[in-house]
Structure formats: structure tokens, C-alpha cells
Amino acid sequence: MSKAPNNNWWRGGVIYQIYPRSFADSNGDGVGDLRGITAKLDYVAALGVDGIWLSPFFKSPQKDYGYDVSDYCDVDPMFGTLDDFRALVDKAHRLGLKVMIDQVLSHCSDQHPWFVESRSSHTNSKADWFIWADAKEDGTPPNNWLSIFGGSAWQWDTRRQQYYMHNFLTSQPDLNFHNPEVQQAILDSVKFWLDIGVDGYRLDTANFYFHDQQLRDNPARGRPQVEDPAVAASNPYGWQRHVYDKSRPENLVFLRRLRALVDQYPHTTMVGEIGDDDGLARVAEYTSGNELLHMAYCFDLLGTQHHAEHFHHVISRFEAVAPNGWPCWAYSNHDVVRVASRWSSAVQQPAMLRTMAAVQMSLRGSVCLYQGEELGLPEVDIAYEDLRDPLGITMWPEVKGRDGCRTPMAWDGAAADLGFSSSANPAKPWLPVGESHRALAANAQQAQADSLLHYYQQLLRWRKQYPALTSGTLQVLPAHPQVLAYVREHEGQRVLCVFNLSPEAVRWTPPADVAAAFAQGQWITGSGLPEADAGAVQVDGGVWTLAPWAGVFRRG
């Protein structure tokens, strides 16, 4: 198959994630929809991003809010119609925005016709489309694999008198990618949306497609002694090393088939979500060469750690294991606590959010922004009786679930529902609105010249003026307890990026060769960082004194 041309818009691009249920409600039923998104695309385009990523809007019983698909080739009526989606794509393209959609390929809903038929007998035409296994002699599941949502990854089915595998909810059976017919059906569904005009895909759980056919037990990792993003003490899923239930070598073979299909369409791309024991290494593997994913992200910057040494470790390790790979850096999404709450106190929040955004926009790779991140929206504290997320309902109160980051977008601080609905008499939103979001609503920030929203708009415009920041190489400088520093370079353009990731002033001495290379350079202003524009760095005898949360750029 021949490849279509690709202008690499995604390489160094900024992608804005939209969670359709919570973005904008056009008909007043309390749930966001495609027409609501279309009406707000001017706002997204004005932000300066390159494209949007839409979380699932396919037909679904909504047990996991769209990540349990019952029809891969149609729109759920709560979100609209296929014509509504076509209209959304048309407007996005007129505004210069690319459209990426979320493909949930590893599993589907137990109400999907494929699974309904598969569970009906051992001999039907789709009997082997899912992962079925006999019980052990004592009736227990075939191995020790666990579900991310708690308990065994195996559910007993009384019709087939067998267990079926589910990495997530019991209502989300995993497809058997070892079956060629399954692979082809999935590829056909991907082609369906490409033919409509989408520009790419975010691949949910992109390393989960294949399992070990021998069903061998995962080795133990052990109960963690401390909480970290990879191993949560409250969820025993992290107590195993996931050697056999995901990240299998066959996955790469299928990704090559998927990439070959996508490459037949011009200017398309794929970004994969990687959940793995060693996420950075897996991102490196999955983005190497030109036959697998265009880019991928893992969870190393989606945890609680955000100090300079952590960032230095993540960046330097990625550069070591994937010098030719392409990451997509995300701080927030629909699965984690919002970054404004996860990383800051109210006192340091405004300066911290600006500086951390400047870090994100100057790293080598592409960027994903989650809706409301540009407003600095904090997590909403959801009462147990208002929870919708099955993860939170199951693991409350130690794990409160993902509803707090999925609440309705704050458009109008004066409106009862924050302007979520354009209807005159809207229903109650599907999740409570965040009262703490009123002062941060988009209309309030649009009226404030020094708001975080205007900062993001300025930062994104400024960034595009420097190919070194969007396309260049990255040389990370030696680790420092408070300072993160690196050099970006592209075709002779060199930019030194230095950030004080702490609330105290700090002294920092650049390496001698870097100091010499940038000695005759100039400070770069215009990013929107007050520190960069006001010159909140003092240089005396080769020692830099950086103000709290200062971020500065210097041209070589």
C-alpha cells in the first residue's frame, strides 16, 4: 500500500482534548453533545492549538461513559448523529483544526453484537472473538490476572460455562486480537472514520491488544511501601508485573497493520495511551521508526511529582531510551486529578501553572491539553451520592474516581450551570458544576488581560515562532534540586530554557560550555511569562539568581 503525503502537523503540535459529555450541551438535556462542541470550536481555535481529540461519542450503554463501545461505526443518540459529526469536522477544518477521535480497540461493551453472539455458544461464528478460558479444577479463574477496576480480570459466564477476560469492567470484555477476523473488523471500523474525514486517532490502552495465549501468571511485584504513580497501594493491580496480560510482542505486528492503513490518508496521525510497568521504555518502543505509532504518552507526568529532579529524570531517561521516538506530553486528562489541584497550593498556583505550561510547551515532543487546563480549573470535590464513575464507586473513599476532573466546562461564571447549556431551560448537568470554577470561567478570563487563558493564547502563538521549540533536539543539563534546564536546537537556532520549579529564589550556575555558548545571546521575551519579560533573573559572575517559579529563555 502506498503512503499518502503527511505534513507532520502533529510533530510538535498542540492537541486539545474534549470530553464530549462535559464540554457543551446544545439541547439542554444535561449532557454535552457534538453540536455543543461545534458551537465552541471558535474558542478552541482562538486558543492557538493545532487539533482536537474527542473522547468517545460512539454508541454505548455508558457503563464506562463511552469507553464501552456497542457500535464502532455510529454516534450515540445522546451526542447526536453522524451528520452532526460531519458538521463538526467540516467546521473544525474551516478553522484550521485537525480532528482526532478516541478509538477503544482493546475491548468493547458486553452489549456489542459481537459479544452477544460470542457468549451464546462454543460454536457460533464469533465464538473465538473474545478471550474465553475454562475454569481450573477448583472452579477458580484460569490465572492471577487482575482488572484495573479491582478484582480478577476474569468473569464467569453462565451461558458458555467459561470465564471471559476483562481488563476493566466486567461489562467490557477484551477482544481476542489473536483472531485475524477480529483484527480485520477493527481495521474496518478505523477506516470508516478515516473515510468520513478524521485526521487521526488517540488509541485507548494501545498496549493492551494482545494477551499471552498460554495464560501464564504474572509475576509478583509486591505491595508498595510508598505511593507512586505506577504502583498504588489502594489498587492491587499495581502489585503485579504485567508481563503476560499486555504489552505482548504481537502488539507491534498489529500496530504496523494499523499504521499502514492510517498512512493511506493524507496528514493523519496516531497517539497511543501507554499504561505499562515501564511507560517510557514502551513509548520508545512504540514510536520508533515509521511503522508503528506516530507518538505516544505514558503516565510519568500525570502523577503527583512535579519537582525539578523528577522532570529531569523523566526527560533524560526518555532522551536516552528514545532519541528517535516522539512523545506527547500531558499533565492532565479525563483519568487523573486536575493539575491545578494535583500540583499546587492556592498560594503558589498562578505562577506555578504558568511556569509548568512553559515547560510543557518547550519539551521535545507534542502536547495534549485537557479542556479547562487553560483556565486553571481545579478538581471538583464530588459527594459520594453524585458519583458516576464506576472506579470511584468501587474504591471510595481511598480512590474517589475520575468524576472530579470530568465536571462541566466553565463558560459563564454567572450562569447557574456555568454556561454549560445553551438551552433556556436546561436540565441538571450530569455531574455537579464546580462552584470554585465560577471566578475562572472562560468569559471572566477573556475580560482579564493578565488571565491564565490569555497567557496560554500568547504562549502558544509565541512558541510557533521558534522551530527549536517545536522541532529541535533537546539536551538536558545536569540535575539540580530546584532548577530544570535544557537546550533546544534546530538548524542553527539554539534556545536555552531554564525554570525554577520551586516557590523560593534559587542560585544556579550553568555548565561552562553552555555559559560560553549563550554568553552573547539575548533574553527571549513574549512568551507571556512575567519572569521572562520582566527579567526576573540576575546574572553575576556566571551565577544566575532565579526568582520563585521563574521561567526564562535565552537565544544562543
State the catalytic residue, choosing from 33, 84, 273, 276: 273
508: which strand partners? Answer: 544
16: nearest Cα among 43, 44, 42, 38:
44
**Alpha carbon 482 to chain centroid, angstroms:** 26
**Burial class of residue 407 (count of CB atoms within 10 Å of its CB; 0-12, 13-18, 19+):** buried
Q: Is 291 a catalytic residue?
A: no
C-alpha cell recorded at residue 129:
472473538
Cell of 348: 503558589
Q: Phi first, then psi: give them for residue 438, nearest 5 degrees.
A: -60, -50
- Backbone dihedral region for residue 464 (phi beyond 0: left; psi -120 to 50: alpha; all else: beta): alpha
Grid cell at residue 37 = 462542541
Q: What is the DSSP letter of 112?
A: S
273 carries an active-site annotation:
yes
Q: What distance in Å separates the CA atoms of residue 244 and residue 242, rounded to the nearest whole number?
A: 6
Residue 300, classed as helix, strand or coil, is coil
Cα–Cα separations (whole angstroms), residue 418 to 5, 25, 262, 389: 43, 11, 39, 22
CB-based burial label for 508 (10 Å; 0-12, 13-18, 19+): middle
Per DSSP, 219 falls in state P
Strands 537-540 and 543-546: antiparallel
> What is the rounded distance in angstroms from the CA atom of residue 275 to the CA atom of residue 273?
7
Instruction: Scan for cell 520508533, then name that residue.
Output: 288
Task: Give the H/E segment covering residue 297.
Answer: strand 295-297
Catalytic residue among 50, 204, 379, 531: 204
Compute the 3-state secondary structure of the chain and give helix, strand, coil in percent, each to the nearest 5: 30, 20, 50
Amino acid (1-letter code) at residue 353? L
Residue 267 CB burial class (10 angstroms; 0-12, 13-18, ≥19)? middle
Q: Which residues are catalytic?
A: 204, 273
